């Protein structure tokens, strides 16, 4: 019998520290002194999908934790129970997570010999179990070896009437191996070169060039634009100059006069990573007044766009949205007639957000769709849906990255309809809504479903959102988790405008109060300012209660051609306008740390399209992944002056009875943030508010307008704003 395997995941992944490679061969039978005394095999299904509303929720085995509890451990124990009656004195058990085998072995007599294999060479896959049992055959006795793979668990009982020749060499080989450090492994793979040498990093070739020195990367190289002299990241990262759009560059060595420190709460990451600040020898980038070549000057939202005196910042290439408005603009100082109103929302609903371990992805989608259909005022048949747009951002968190367009319709009984999955970072749900609205407005479809679904809690912390710290560019985004991304905005806002931790805390207190009134919220408990200020520090100045939770959830809306809205309701809510914008993905390219440019530009486009100004909005659901984010949002959306967001929150201007109620549902901080479902759930709250159906959370609707907003992605570089209205 021969068993060999090589488990070699990428560097810095969760499996890196326990993966290995190995091979073992042995002869069983004849005169070797050992025979196979028994064999037990059990098979369990590894794919058990939810198939209908009347069927109990199933667990997705691709998730590591649920897979271990629902499939792996029960199958392992079942085979072990059959072999245990022979009373083996040696056991070899598969141990993919460094604890499952020991948990099973606690109830057994005999010695667990596979521990030595896993501790010495790691998980060697197919070779691990056999390598372990061979190591235990250096004396006469009964050995049990169990292996698992592909849903099948197999156990063998090997009886040795004398020591098996060569078996005693295995433990010695394991013990005599040379310890290998992480750096040694990198060097052996050719991924670490001597200090001082220049090597290419990243994919494809020609990516950013760096000089390695020891275990750190030093001296990054940049590219200077020939046309405007602006220092850029290499062309393989940005093929166009971020200043003038040019494509001709010359290599330049970047100065190391500053450092960027990033800290992450993640035990799989190395110690705090320090990288050189990518600025050129000519100093920081300069902001150039004027408009982008060949484009009109962007229409601002008022003097809140005035830049503060001081060093000039990198200017974004912005321009007028050029959206064709179907209707005339009236005086912006008073209420205007809606222009773009060819789409109506006639139904919306969601499931309760939370840690929904007992519900599959498909089960959540089905629940949200049923809720949206049930909330239509008049009879609505599911078969009337002509197309669907599905938002899911992190498919890997529930075991499937390539989520096709057929996943959700099949679960809803709508197999056959056109369906498109949309992923656009945190605004995935709100962007799916925008695309769905355009599909109806274009005349291609009269009735579409927009649904957001996300399973985030089934994965471990290491495999969840913290894993993004090791994703992306090896220098520019190394260690960049969400708290690391937003904390600098908080500290800069505090420095420039006097924002205080108490102001941040007021956002959390307000949103948890609203969440306590929302039956769909993840957290339905009120908190105090002291609790926020005394909660553990995550990434200074952001504390635990300044952060939103990771959440499971789903939400759905039904969009119809406005001319057909009367078939379904007497109180339609219309799509007044929307806007999408992008910003640079890397922090060192940001022009400001006191606002999010993508939000500002998306808001301008949405207001333009709707023919509205910020003062026309009655309530808003905005992206509050952190308390500082809501403060930035209400400034960037034009509800308060730049720098006054913290003061407005502390004064109660954004409360349910305030001047501009914000996050009446509890926001991401209390309601939760199942990424793909978040935007659709926010739109559902806006729909309820405009129809006067928000129960204890209901606010005063004066103008008939509500705004929904998300921002996210690498560097918070994409934002979507949708505006709903009751005005025909």
Closest CA to 540 of 483, 469, 455, 479: 483
ω into 204 cis (within 30 of 0): yes
- Helix (H) or strand (E) segment spanning residue 556: strand 553-561
Q: SS3 for 109?
A: coil
Neighbours of 513 (CB within 10 A): 17
100, 303, 647, 681 from 46: Cα distances, Å: 18, 60, 54, 32
673 is annotated as an active-site residue:
yes
Mention every residue, 6+ apart, whose C-beta is less than 8 A from residue 200: 206, 207, 209
Q: SS3 for 407?
A: helix
8, 64, 118, 129, 456 from 12: Cα distances, Å: 11, 18, 19, 26, 21
Question: Catalytic: which of 426, 539, 547, 625?
Answer: 426
Say if CB 374 and CB 436 are below 8 A apart.
Answer: no
Q: Which residues pair with 388 in a beta bridge?
A: 419, 449
**Backbone dihedral angles phi then psi of residue 388, each to the nearest 5 degrees:** -135, 145
Closest CA to 403 of 454, 348, 369: 454
- Helix (H) or strand (E) segment spanning residue 552: none
Q: What is the DSSP letter of 19?
A: B
As a dihedral over the C-alpha atoms of residue 178, residue 180, residue 183, residue 187, rounded to 10 degrees, the angle is 60
Can you read off the two tokens belonging to residue 617? 């909005």
**Backbone dihedral angles phi then psi of residue 576, each to the nearest 5 degrees:** -85, -35
Say if CB 640 and CB 653 are below 8 A apart.
Answer: yes
Question: Catalytic: which of 419, 673, 686, 709?
Answer: 673
The CA distance from 374 to 383, in Å, is 14
Ramachandran region, residue 5 (left: φ > 0; alpha: ψ -120 to 50; beta: rest): beta
The CA distance from 480 to 469, in Å, is 5
Q: How, if at all, do strands 259-262 and 231-232 pair?
A: unpaired
Can you read off the two tokens belonging to residue 214? 């020891």
> Cα 323 from chain centroid?
31
438, 637, 670, 720 from 605: Cα distances, Å: 15, 11, 29, 10
Neighbours of 304 (CB within 10 A): 18
As a dihedral over the C-alpha atoms of residue 68, residue 74, residue 76, residue 81, rounded to 10 degrees, the angle is 160
Closest CA to 66 of 55, 58, 56: 58
Say if CB 689 and CB 544 are below 8 A apart.
Answer: no
Residue numbers annotated as active site = 426, 673
């Amino acid at each position: 019998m021969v068993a060999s395997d090589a488990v070699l995941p990428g560097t810095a992944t969760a499996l890196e520290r326990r993966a290995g490679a190995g091979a073992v061969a042995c002869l069983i039978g004849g005169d070797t002194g050992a025979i196979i005394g028994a064999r037990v095999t059990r098979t369990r299904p590894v794919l058990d999908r939810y198939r209908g509303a009347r069927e109990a929720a199933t667990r997705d085995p691709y998730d590591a934790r649920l897979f271990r509890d629902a499939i792996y451990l029960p199958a392992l124990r079942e085979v072990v129970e059959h072999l245990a009656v022979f009373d083996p004195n040696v056991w070899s058990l598969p141990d993919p997570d460094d604890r499952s085998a020991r948990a099973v072995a606690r109830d057994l007599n005999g010695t667990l010999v596979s521990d030595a294999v896993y501790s010495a060479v790691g998980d060697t896959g197919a070779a691990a179990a056999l390598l372990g049992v061979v190591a235990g055959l250096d004396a006469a006795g009964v050995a049990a070896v169990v292996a698992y793979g592909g849903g099948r668990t197999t156990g063998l009982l090997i009886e040795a009437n004398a020591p098996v020749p060569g078996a005693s060499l295995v433990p010695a080989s394991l013990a005599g191996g040379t310890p290998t450090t992480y750096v040694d492994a990198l060097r052996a793979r050719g991924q670490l070169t001597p200090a001082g040498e220049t090597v290419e990093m990243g994919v494809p070739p020609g990516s950013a060039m760096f000089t390695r020195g020891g275990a750190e990367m030093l001296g990054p190289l940049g590219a200077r634009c020939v046309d405007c002299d602006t220092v850029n990241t290499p062309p393989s990262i940005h093929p166009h100059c971020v200043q003038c759009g040019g494509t001709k560059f010359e290599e330049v060595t970047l100065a190391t006069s500053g450092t960027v420190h990033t800290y992450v709460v993640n035990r799989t990451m190395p110690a705090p990573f320090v990288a050189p600040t990518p600025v050129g020898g000519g100093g920081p980038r300069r902001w150039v007044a004027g408009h982008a070549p060949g484009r009109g000057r962007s229409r601002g939202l008022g003097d809140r766009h005035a830049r503060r005196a001081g060093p000039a910042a990198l200017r974004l290439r912005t321009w007028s949205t050029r959206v064709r408005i179907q209707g005339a603009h009236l005086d912006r100082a008073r209420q205007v007639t809606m222009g773009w109103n060819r789409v109506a929302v006639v139904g919306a609903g969601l499931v309760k957000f939370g840690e929904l371990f007992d519900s599959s992805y498909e089960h959540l989608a089905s629940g949200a769709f049923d809720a949206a259909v049930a909330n239509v005022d008049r009879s609505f048949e599911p078969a009337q849906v002509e197309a669907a747009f599905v938002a899911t951002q992190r498919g890997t968190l529930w075991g499937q990255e390539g989520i096709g367009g057929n996943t959700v319709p099949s679960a809803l009984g709508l197999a056959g309809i056109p369906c498109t999955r949309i992923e656009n970072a945190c605004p995935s749900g709100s962007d799916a809504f925008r695309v769905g609205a355009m599909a109806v407005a274009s005349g291609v479809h009269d009735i579409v479903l927009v649904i957001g679904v996300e399973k985030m809690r089934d994965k471990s912390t290491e495999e969840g959102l913290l894993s993004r710290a090791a994703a992306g560019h090896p220098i520019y985004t190394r260690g960049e988790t969400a708290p690391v991304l937003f904390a600098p905005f908080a500290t800069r806002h505090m420095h420039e405008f006097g924002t205080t931790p108490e102001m941040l805390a007021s956002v959390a207190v307000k949103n948890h109060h609203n969440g306590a009134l929302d039956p769909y919220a993840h957290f339905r408990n009120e908190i105090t300012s002291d609790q926020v200020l005394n909660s553990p520090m995550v990434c200074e100045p952001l504390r635990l209660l300044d952060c939103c939770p990771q959440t499971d959830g789903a939400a759905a809306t039904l969009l119809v051609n406005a001319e057909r809205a009367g078939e379904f309701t007497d109180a339609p809510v219309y799509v007044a306008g929307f806007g999408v914008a992008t910003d640079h993905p890397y922090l060192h390219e940001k022009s400001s740390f006191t606002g999010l440019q993508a939000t500002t530009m998306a808001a301008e486009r949405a207001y333009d399209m709707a023919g509205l100004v910020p003062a026309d909005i009655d309530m808003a659901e905005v992206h509050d992944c952190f308390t500082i984010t809501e403060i930035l949002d209400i400034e960037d959306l034009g509800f308060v002056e730049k720098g006054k967001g913290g003061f407005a929150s502390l004064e109660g201007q954004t409360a349910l009875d305030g001047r501009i109620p914000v996050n009446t549902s509890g926001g991401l901080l209390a309601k939760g943030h199942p990424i793909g479902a978040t935007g659709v759930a926010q739109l559902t709250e806006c729909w309820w508010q405009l129809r006067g159906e928000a129960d204890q959370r209901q606010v005063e609707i004066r103008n008939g307008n509500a705004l929904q907003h998300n921002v996210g992605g690498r560097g918070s570089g994409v934002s979507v704003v949708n505006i709903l209205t009751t005005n025909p």
